[in-house]
Structure 1
Amino acid sequence: MIAAERRLKIINYVNMYKKIRISDLSRLCAVSEETIRRDLKKLEEENYLIRKRGCAVSLEGDNSLLSTPSFELNEQNRYLQLALKAIQLIRENDKVVLDNSKEAYYVAKHLPNITLTVITNSLKVILLLSEKDKITTMSVGGELQKDTLTYTGVLSKGIFNKLYFDKAFIACEGLDIKKGLTVNCVHEAILKKEIIQNVSKVYILLQSNKINKMLSNKISNVTDIHGIITSNDMNKVIEKSLKYLKINLIYSH
């Protein structure tokens, strides 16, 4: 079990029981208590829980110590679950594309330090991966948008026609069975369209509230992608339609 997957289990156990001993987490996760202590230290730093003597306490279980709104913690958990499913599809020596989405940021954050090549248009992702010495990180180049720390523009155009990549993990802001995948920003649409046209397998990291939405800039048809990573609360009619189109549906929980 990779560290990110184990930490998600810890978050779920802590939120379920409100308070749980380190010894119990060690038994449930089949790792040493010292490993659990390191995990809890990191999770506390990221505001997922609180450490107390010999145990971990849910933020939701102690309102006096609540430092992050519960809706925000739930949102972070959704991003994390999508990211963990994406990471399970990544193999050593893969060449991977990550976009500038929050979903892809979580993939980068929890990627294990293994031999990979990653290309991205996100400076945030580049900075995260710079701490992982086995991962070769490439930028698409272009003009840096300072508000989003994203590279856009003519320098990034055409790069995926020249390079080979195995898998891409990108997000969209709207999915409609007939209209396709859409985003709000035209620059993002151009780059994501190029990714979809040139990368062997493209997975869409999709929050379920983006389904049946349509924005102004189309990326591609639904049938142009390999799979969708999403939660299992998808509308059953949409689910049936996607399966009919032979879209690989991967559920985060």
Structure 2
Amino acid sequence: MYQEERIQMILKYLGEHKKISVEEICNLCNVSRDTARRDLVKLEEKGSILRTRGGALLPTITREIKSYKDRLYTDSKEKKAIGKLAASLIKNDDKIIMDTATTVQACAEFLQVDSCTVITNSINQADILSNKPGVDIHLLGGQLNQEQRFLYGPSVISMLSNYCVDKTFVGCCGVTEKGVMVAFQEDGFVMKKMIEQADQVILLVDSSKFGKKGFFKFADLSQIDIIITGQLPNKTLMDAFNKYEINVMLAK
């Protein structure tokens, strides 16, 4: 079992039980105590846990993350403009990945092609696309985050590794010179794999996310090919985009 898979299992256990011991990790993942400790060190470096003597706890973090339904109506005008422009980049017979972001949902709503294949872990995207003739939908199976409407876990990451696509469309909760971030690490692990499987990575981001930090970094700026937004960021961030030759497209 790879470390990334063990980390997902540990995080899932912590989500249910709030704490975990080294012994419980050994039994859960069938690994040695040394391996369990290395996994805890990795999680501590990411800021995902608080290590204790003999185990770990979930950190107490105050995060005001709106539900998926609430986020749909935040800056909806800009999101729709971004989604419409993003949809125009999808051509007949493209094979694409769509993540769970509400801005990416706007792209799904505007999608108009005769044929394409879409891989997603979003039950909302799958539902919207199911009404569009010619769209072949592959819904990735895993554990459901009911409030945020996405599927995650080792099975989702494993399935993604079998797909090679033309384009991946992702959203985020923050973009800085240090990279692109999301609010949920379980979603972030999936998005890392989504990016790896694509020839072209397209980030859909409303202007309010520029300069904001998120809980989990899923991509470096060097991994992004195109950014679609409604307004340019400040000079510092724009210089960073130029440094990595990111094509910034403005949606009107």
Matched residue of 2:156: which SS? coil
Matched residue of 1:85: which SS? helix
- Alpha carbons 1:103, 1:171 under 8 Å: kept: yes
Per-residue CA deviations over 1:89-143 (Å, capped at 9, x if unaligned) read: 1110000111111011111111115201001111111111111121001111101
Matched residue type, 2:124: K
Corresponding position of 1:122:
122
Identify the structure with bigger relative contact order (alpha carbons < 8 Å, sequence gap 6+). 2
Tell me the C-alpha RMSD between the 2 structures.
1.7
Correspondences of 1:176-191 after superposition (within 5 Å): 176-177=176-177, 179-191=178-190
Question: Unaligned 5+ residue runs, structure 2?
Answer: 1-71
Matched residue of 2:148: which SS? coil
Corresponding position of 2:40:
none
Per-residue CA deviations over 1:162-193 (Å, capped at 9, x if unaligned) read: 1111101110111111x211111011110111
- Alpha carbons 1:160, 1:199 under 8 Å: kept: no
Corresponding position of 1:202:
201
**TM-score, scaled relative to structure 1:** 0.68
Matched residue of 1:238: which SS? helix
- Alpha carbons 2:114, 2:134 under 8 Å: kept: yes
Corresponding position of 1:154:
154
- Work out the CA distance in 1 between the residues paired with 2:144 and 2:182: 19
Matched residue of 1:157: which SS? helix
Matched residue of 1:200: which SS? strand
Displacement of 1:232 in angstroms is 2.8
- Alpha carbons 1:175, 1:212 under 8 Å: kept: yes
Cα 1:190–1:74, aligned 2, differ >3 Å: closer, same or farther? closer
Correspondences of 1:1-253 after superposition (within 5 Å): 75-177=75-177, 179-253=178-252
The number of equivalent residue pairs is: 181
Cα 1:180–1:144, aligned 2, differ >3 Å: closer, same or farther? same
Question: Unaligned 5+ residue runs, structure 1?
Answer: 1-71
Per-residue CA deviations over 1:66-99 (Å, capped at 9, x if unaligned) read: xxxxxx9882211111011111211100001111
**TM-score, scaled relative to structure 2:** 0.68
Matched residue of 1:196: which SS? helix
- Alpha carbons 1:158, 1:194 under 8 Å: kept: no
- Work out the CA distance in 1 between the residues paired with 2:215 and 2:113: 37
Per-residue CA deviations over 1:198-252 (Å, capped at 9, x if unaligned) read: 2110111011111111122110111111111112342233223311221111111
Matched residue of 1:90: which SS? coil
Cα 1:93–1:99, aligned 2, differ >3 Å: closer, same or farther? same
Per-residue CA deviations over 1:7-65 (Å, capped at 9, x if unaligned) read: xxxxxxxxxxxxxxxxxxxxxxxxxxxxxxxxxxxxxxxxxxxxxxxxxxxxxxxxxxx
Matched residue type, 1:137: I
Matched residue of 1:162: which SS? coil
- Alpha carbons 1:186, 1:217 under 8 Å: kept: yes
Matched residue of 2:155: which SS? coil
Identity of aligned residues (%): 25
- Work out the CA distance in 1 between the residues paired with 2:73 and 2:167: 29
